[in-house]
Structure formats: C-alpha cells, structure tokens
Amino acid sequence: MYDPEVLRSLHVSRYKSEPEIFAAPGRVNLIGEHTDYAEGFVMPAAIDFATLAGISPRDDGKIVIYSENFKEERVFDARSLPKSGSKDWSDYPLGAMVMLAGEGHRIPGLSLSLLGDVPLGSGLSSSAAVEVATALAVTSLVGVDYARPKLARLCQRAENEFVGANCGIMDQFISANGAEDHALLLDCRDLSFRLAPIPANVALVIANTMVKHSVAGGEYTTRRAEVEEAAAVIARHRPEVRFLRDATVEDLHKWGAEMSPNALKRARHVITENTRTVAAADALIDHDLKELGRLMAEAHVSYSQDFEASCVEADTMVMLAHSQPGLIGARLTGGGFGGCTINLVEQGKANEFRDGLAASYASETGIVPQIHVCHASSGAHRVIASLSH
C-alpha cells in the first residue's frame, strides 16, 4: 500500500543523494492480548501497511531525520546523541539509533526520510514499524547484520528505555520477522516461534473504531500492575511461578480470594488467553477455521469482561461483524481502550463485509469507521538499493 518511488524522489529532492530504502510493516494481532509481558504467547501477522525509511550518508556529522507524515525535520549531532526522548515523533527513529550506539556501533552522519501508511493511534503498531525500519536502515549503513530477533529486542528497548513506553516484544518482533501469508505464534519467554499459514481464501479485515488510545496511558500501566499482583499471590504458594505464563486456572480457584477482585479477573484473562492462543495456532495449521472463529469470539469476551480493556464502540463493532457475510472470527485487537477490531473473513466476501460493517457501525454509533481489507505480509526488508551501489 506504499510506493517506495515516492520516498526515493522525496529523499533525492531534499538531500541530493540516492537513498537505500527499507520497509517495516505494521501488524495486527489475531489473538493473544496482554499475554506478552506475562511471558506468554501471542499470534500476530504483519500487514500491508508499512513504514518506509530512506537513508544516505552525510559528511557533516549530523543526523537529519525527516518525516513526510509530520512534514517536519529534526537535526541531531551524531557524536552527541540524546540520552532520552523528548516526547516527539523523532524519539522512535532516534531511539533505535541510540540503542545501536549502545551496542558499540558508531552512528555516522546520515539523512533519514520516513514515510508510512500505518494509521497512527489505531493499535496497528506504527511506532514499531518506524523503529524497525530505522534500525534496518542504519545497520545497513554501518555494515552490520543483526539476527532479526536481536534487532527486534533492540527496537523494543528503544521504546522502553528511550521513548518511555512499557511495551512488550510482540510489535517489534512481528515487524522484523513476519512472513507472507502467515501468522506467527511467538513464545514471549524465549522468542521461539512457529509460523501458521493463513489460507489464501481468508482476508484480514481491520476495522478502526476511530476511538484513539495510547499504551503510554494510565490504563495500560494499571492493568499490568494487576497482572503482576496476581502472579505474586500465586508465587507465594508456588515459588516457581514468576509470571502468569506458569499459572493455571486451578491456581485461581485455590488462591484467587487472596487477590483484589480486579487482579483475579485480569489473571483469568491472561491464563485462559495463553491457552486460546496456542489452540488458535493449532487451528490455523489444521485449517480448522470454525474452531479459530470460536476462539476469537471467546477471546473478545474475555478481553472485554475480564480484562475490561474494550469500550462500547469496540464491542459494538465486534457484535455487528457477526451479522455480516463471510465472517470467520472477530475481536478487538491491540492494547485495548479503542483502536481496531480484526475480522477474519472469506476472501470472496471481504468487500461486501467491509461495506456492510461500515454502514452498520456508522448507523449505530454516528462514527464513520476506516475499514481496510489486508493480507499477511512479509517482515522488514530492503526495498530499493541505492543506484550508486
């Protein structure tokens, strides 16, 4: 959905230098919400919304970053990078460079142009796409090649330590490691993963409720603290349980009364969601789309009622999806409190589904949604090599 030639032309016009261009996709999570920081399982897919990064060297010792989306340029001294972010869009690309510098790489003067079509604030991980595209571009420029899981971890650290958002590893990992026509079941404990094929006759329809959210907000922090409270209670009885990944529903029956009511509910979501996520990968591998749809429906109810991270608009969007043609499964995706729903839909009915859902949602809520028919795409990659090479 992006045109690298547009970025190439823009970069050449601005910096009089041919760029190398890299792309990193956004993502949609098919199932597995708020399980990542419990060292559990998630199953995202990279999508055909992406950030493009064009890069070329400079000889004046400056790092110059231009965002076409924001129509703004930022300039930094390559020899004296900031230690922390400044709450600006440039924190995301700059943070990736700071983490690479921390690994012992000298970041040279460079021009970096960014252009993306991942919708901001919709839960499709525009920030991770910027970080991964930047990291891939800069490592190419300095002549190093990181294994993709390692690259993803560096980009996660950029968001945690430089930007100041306490995200898990999923967004950066799928952006770096996604595969065309596949979802990816990721074990957030050891970063092992397996690919689960998405059949050619299944479309990913992403429906934006147009209700914005931010994972840096207080709700995310509160939920995470409640999850950790529940794990700590269980650990008093079972010291081997460091994260809810290691806990069971039986543990909640035994010791749930020692938790706050909210912590008990959050834990029930995380523990059952882990089980559902692994089962959903098995269902995809077995081509059992009916079971996958059932698991997605169950996941949404858990996310809405036990984790209480949905909202009226998202619940409405999911409810209305079930009355549209071709639906396989629907649920709220991403960090919660708004954002997008993911709908798996029969490919031949995807456009009819999109139009019907848009009309129903607008009628029900008075909000005109953005709905995109997507497919699972490859992870970050080089798009155009510099013509000077």
Average pLDDT, the chain: 93
pLDDT in tens, 159-206: 999 999 877 889 999 999 999 999 999 999 999 999 999 999 999 999
Categorize the per-residue pLDDT at 129 as very low, low, confident or very high, splitting at 50, 70 and 90. Answer: very high
**pLDDT at residue 210 above 70?**
yes
pLDDT in tens, 69-96: 999 999 999 999 999 999 999 999 999 9
Cα–Cα distance, 21 to 377 (Å, whole number): 17
Q: Which residues lie closer than 8 Å to 202 by C-beta, 6 or more apart?
A: 289, 328, 344, 345, 346, 347
pLDDT in tens, 27-66: 999 999 999 889 999 999 999 889 999 999 999 999 999 9
Asked if residue 120 belongs to a domain, the reply is yes
Helix axes 91-102, 148-157, angle to 10 degrees: 120
Tell me what the mean pLDDT of segment 292-314 comes to.
96
Asked whether 166 and 131 are in contact (CB, 8 A), the reply is no
Q: Which residues lie closer than 8 Å to 74 by C-beta, 6 or more apart?
A: 64, 65, 66, 88, 90, 94
Sheet holding 327-332, edge to edge: 327-332, 340-346, 202-208, 370-374
315 is catalytic: no
Share of the chain above pLDDT 70, in %: 95
Q: How many domains does the chain have?
A: 1
Asked if residue 229 belongs to a domain, the reply is no
pLDDT of 123 reads 62
**pLDDT at residue 118 above 90?**
no
Which pairs from 241-248 meet CB under 8 Å and 24+ separation?
A: 242/39, 243/38, 243/39, 243/40, 243/189, 244/38, 244/40, 244/270, 244/271, 244/274, 245/35, 245/38, 245/39, 245/40, 245/188, 245/189, 245/274, 246/39, 247/271
Tell me what the mean pLDDT of segment 353-379 comes to.
96
pLDDT of 289 reads 97
pLDDT of 220 reads 77
Asked if residue 50 belongs to a domain, the reply is yes
**pLDDT at residue 1 above 80?**
no
Share of the chain above pLDDT 90, in %: 86
pLDDT of 334 reads 83
Asked if residue 96 belongs to a domain, the reply is yes
pLDDT of 336 reads 82
Which residue type occupies 376?
A: A
DSSP string, 131-172: HHHHHHHHHHHHT----HHHHHHHHHHIIIIII-----SHHH
Categorize the per-residue pLDDT at 322 as very low, low, confident or very high, splitting at 50, 70 and 90. Answer: very high
Q: Which residues lie closer than 8 Å to 115 by C-beta, 6 or more apart?
A: 2, 6, 7, 10, 51, 52, 54, 67, 68, 69
Cα–Cα distance, 171 to 46 (Å, whole number): 9
Six-digit token string for 79: 């020899």
Query: Which of the following is catalytic: 91, 171, 306, 315?
Result: 171
Asked if residue 34 belongs to a domain, the reply is yes
Neighbouring-strand partners of residue 120: none
Six-digit token string for 8: 């190439």
CA atoms within 13 A on the CB side of 192: 2
pLDDT of 124 reads 67
Asked if residue 358 belongs to a domain, the reply is no
Tell me what the mean pLDDT of segment 209-231 comes to.
80
**pLDDT at residue 122 above 60?**
no
pLDDT of 388 reads 46
Q: How far is CA 102 from CA 16, 71, 105, 379, in A?
A: 30, 29, 7, 25
Tell me what the mean pLDDT of segment 133-155 comes to.
96
Asked if residue 325 belongs to a domain, the reply is no
Which residue type occupies 300?
A: H
Q: Which residues lie closer than 8 Å to 370 by C-beta, 6 or more apart?
A: 119, 122, 207, 208, 210
b vs e for 363-387, b when ≥16 Cβ sit within 10 Å of the residue's Cβ? Answer: eebeeebebbbbbbbbbbeebbebe
Residue-number span of the structural domain to which 12 is assigned: 4-198+377-384
> Domain with 104 in it: what CATH number?
3.30.230.10
**pLDDT at residue 284 above 90?**
yes
Asked if residue 180 belongs to a domain, the reply is yes
Sign of CA dihedral 115, 121, 124, 129: positive
pLDDT of 358 reads 98
Categorize the per-residue pLDDT at 259 as very low, low, confident or very high, splitting at 50, 70 and 90. Answer: very high
Burial of 158 (0-12, 13-18, 19+ CB in 10 A): buried
